[in-house]
Amino acid sequence: MKNMTDSNMPLNDGNMAVGVSQQNSDRLKLGTVLLASSASLRLAQQTPSVMLSKMLPSKQVNSFILPDDIIKNMKDKIKETKKLKIELGFALCIQNSKMLSDKDNQINQKDNSQIIKDIKKGTDCVGTKCSIKVGKCEEDQIYIGNYHTHPRSHPSMSITDMVTGCSEDIECIGSAPFNTIRCFTRKTSESQCIEEIGPFEAEEHRILEKGGNIRSILKSPKTIVKTDIIKLLKDISQYETDIAKYHKNRFKLLNENFNRTDIS
């Protein structure tokens, strides 16, 4: 009887005469080659994509680029806002083209490079529950806008935000309740934007102040008892009417004057 590992042992179908030991050896070699080829293929496929992801912008808003680190900073401010219950933010800046080297300026003029369009983080801002001041940029940077959070509302512009945004290239807002970030860019001229929206800013402050007063009364049973209930009910009813008109007008002004881009 021939050894079962004899290289002359025929296969079951009788079409080839390849031994088991030779088969095993060939399979081992083939497996090694396939593994090496597979690893090379994965490397060839992954390396360009990894490099490309570093080259591509994280998010583009008009002619501006929001890099990953800026978006991360925005998300961090939302997390802080949830803890502190106040508006937080920072200035949005770009590199001043006059401060770039001659070589960088030549590249920028030649191929429309986005070197001076990448948004950089300016100084931090700390506000209150419903307002915040704008930040500043470094001496070699240009201020283009502002990012701030809303502790209790959507990432949408108030009338005051719009008035500020009329004079800016970009305004971004982060919402603490909804974990979302949205950026706004003006689509009308600065003068038209201010002319249409400016007159409503004082009305917004009056309505929001009225709402704050009502909430402070309703916060405690003691303050409710000390209040003229009939007058309070009338004030609440009037406030609900005023706030509904306010939001309807705000949405109209926002849609007419600003484009929006969802960031996250």
| The token pair that represents 58 in the structure block | 């994280």
In a domain, 225, yes or no: no
In a domain, 112, yes or no: yes
Q: How far apart are CA 116 and CA 114, in angstroms?
A: 6
In a domain, 222, yes or no: no
In a domain, 197, yes or no: yes
Percent of the chain with pLDDT over 90: 62
In a domain, 261, yes or no: no
In a domain, 29, yes or no: no
Q: Total domain count for the chain?
A: 1
In a domain, 9, yes or no: no
What's the pLDDT at 121?
A: 95
In a domain, 175, yes or no: yes
Per-residue pLDDT reduced to its tens digit, 221-241 = 999 989 999 999 999 999 999
Taking residue 112's Cβ as centre, other Cβ atoms within 10 Å add up to 9
Per-residue pLDDT reduced to its tens digit, 171-225 = 999 999 999 999 999 999 999 999 999 999 999 999 999 999 999 999 999 999 8
Helix (H) or strand (E) holding 165: helix 159-166
User: 3-class SS at 1?
Assistant: coil
The overall average pLDDT reported for the chain is: 79
DSSP string, 37-86: HHHHHHHHHHHHHHHHHHHS-SEEETTEEE-HHHHHHHHHHHHHHHHH-S
Residue 64, domain extent: 59-201
At 98, the pLDDT band (50, 70, 90 cuts) reads low
CATH of the domain at 143: 3.40.140.10
Looking from the CA of 205 toward its CB, the CA atoms found within 13 Å total 8
At 129, the pLDDT band (50, 70, 90 cuts) reads confident
